[in-house]
Amino acid sequence: MSRRLKDKVAVITGASSGIGEATAQIFIDEGAYVVLGDIQRDLGNEVAARLGDRAKFLFCDVTREEQVEELISEATSVTGTLDVMMNNAGIVGARAPIDQILLDEFQKTLEILVTGSFLGIKHAAAKMKEQESGSIINMASTAGLSGGFGPHAYATAKHAIVGLTRNAAAELCRYGVRVNCIAPSGVATPLAAQAHLGDFTAMDKLRETLAGNSPLKGRAGTAEDVANAALFLASDESGYTNGHCLTVDAGFTSGSKATDPQHMASVPFMREAGKEGLED
Ligand SMILES: NC(=O)c1ccc[n+]([C@@H]2O[C@H](COP(=O)([O-])OP(=O)(O)OC[C@H]3O[C@@H](n4cnc5c(N)ncnc54)[C@H](O)[C@@H]3O)[C@@H](O)[C@H]2O)c1
């Protein structure tokens, strides 16, 4: 077994389920201690118990500053350092045409996704600046890189997370602290099952749907795909990577599609006014 995070201490928010849970598993497998934070208490305690004595669950609502602080001080009490902070907690939030979104739902979406990430960055940065090391990983989305990938409030929040990642990276680099984010798309988790199928438990059906729409033939995104990207950003292997947004999206945002692009069919060389070939 490789030990890419040997004795590193990590905090992961939104770790009771999906990507956060899978990341906690991989971080532990690679030798880390992980403090898991989430508002799903029973599930979080079950996950931590399964992960063993290198894992601890704490109830943490990422919109509550004192709870985020408590999560981080729990982690720093393990070995005295905080090596990795993964701001992953999320919801889909408000979903409606732009002229019908309720203000309080729009604001709540931003509060959980943006303010929650900000609080995690803020309190991790305080500790990491002091120790002059650390890796902060924020959870963005392809909806934060281009229009048309998610509901309005969610897309707004995820664009903000990409921006905050870059700005925090620009400040914290001088302390040896790196800040990066991950932009997944179409990953089989309860959040995506609810968003795509209206049933957060319909995982088999979701995998089938995602595989059918994937640019990578028949390949749905998994929580482990994103966890492995987080592992790279958490480990010293990414020591020169800062302010980056790492897509885990089968190429969606760079133009890959599930259907054959018509312009890649083989036809004679195309010239002006319908002429074909290199010469008349
Ligand atoms: N699944 C995808 O396709 C996908 C794509 C792009 C980005 N993401 C992002 O990945 C992250 C994880 O999502 P997931 O797909 O694993 O979903 P998930 O629902 O399985 O996990 C999200 C976790 O966040 C927790 N959470 C929600 N509100 C919270 C709060 N206020 N405080 C603390 N915890 C809270 C939930 O309880 C849950 O355990 C989210 O930020 C999401 O936006 C997911």
Instruction: Write down the pLDDT at residue 66.
Output: 98
pLDDT digits (tens, 9 = 90+) for 84-103: 999 999 999 999 999 999 99
Pocket test for ligand 1, best of 11, 16, 19 (most atoms within 8 A of CB): 19
The answer to whether residues 165 and 243 touch, using CB atoms and an 8 Å cutoff, is yes
Closest atom of ligand 1 to 89 CA is 24
What residue spans define the domains of the chain?
9-274
CA 21–ligand 1 middle distance (angstroms): 10
**Catalytic residue set:** 141, 154, 158
CATH number of 9-274: 3.40.50.720
Whether ligand 1 lies within 6 angstroms of the CB of 189 is answered as yes
Whether ligand 1 lies within 6 angstroms of the CB of 121 is answered as no
Residue minimizing CA distance to atom 14 of ligand 1: 18
Q: Is the pLDDT of residue 2 over 80?
A: no
CA distances from residue 121 to 77, 86, 165, 167, 245 in whole angstroms, order as listed: 18, 9, 9, 11, 16
Phi/psi at 221 (nearest 5 deg)? -75, 145
Instruction: Write down the pLDDT at residue 67.
Output: 98
Which of 80, 83, 81, 26 shows the shortest CA–CA distance to 55? 26
Instruction: Write down the pLDDT at residue 1.
Output: 58
Which of 55, 1, 54, 57 shows the shortest CA–CA distance to 30? 1
pLDDT digits (tens, 9 = 90+) for 8-27: 999 999 999 999 999 999 99
CA 192–ligand 1 middle distance (angstroms): 9
Closest atom of ligand 1 to 112 CA is 31
Percent over 70 (pLDDT), the chain: 100
The band of 257, judged by pLDDT with boundaries at 50, 70 and 90, is very high
Work out the angle between the directed axes of helices 65-79 and 116-131 (0-180°, nearest 10): 30
Residue minimizing CA distance to atom 19 of ligand 1: 191
Lowest average pLDDT, out of 53-67, 129-143, 174-188, 252-266, goes to: 252-266
**Which amino acid, 75?**
A
Q: What pTM value is reported for the model?
A: 0.97
Pocket test for ligand 1, best of 17, 68, 165, 209 (most atoms within 8 A of CB): 17
The band of 265, judged by pLDDT with boundaries at 50, 70 and 90, is confident
Q: Is the pLDDT of residue 57 over 90?
A: yes
Whether ligand 1 lies within 6 angstroms of the CB of 144 is answered as no
- Pair of tokens at residue 172: 């914290």
CA 41–ligand 1 middle distance (angstroms): 15
CA 63–ligand 1 middle distance (angstroms): 14
CA 92–ligand 1 middle distance (angstroms): 8
Mean pLDDT of 113-127: 98
Mean pLDDT of 255-279: 91
Instruction: Write down the pLDDT at residue 38.
Output: 99
Q: Is the pLDDT of residue 269 over 80?
A: yes
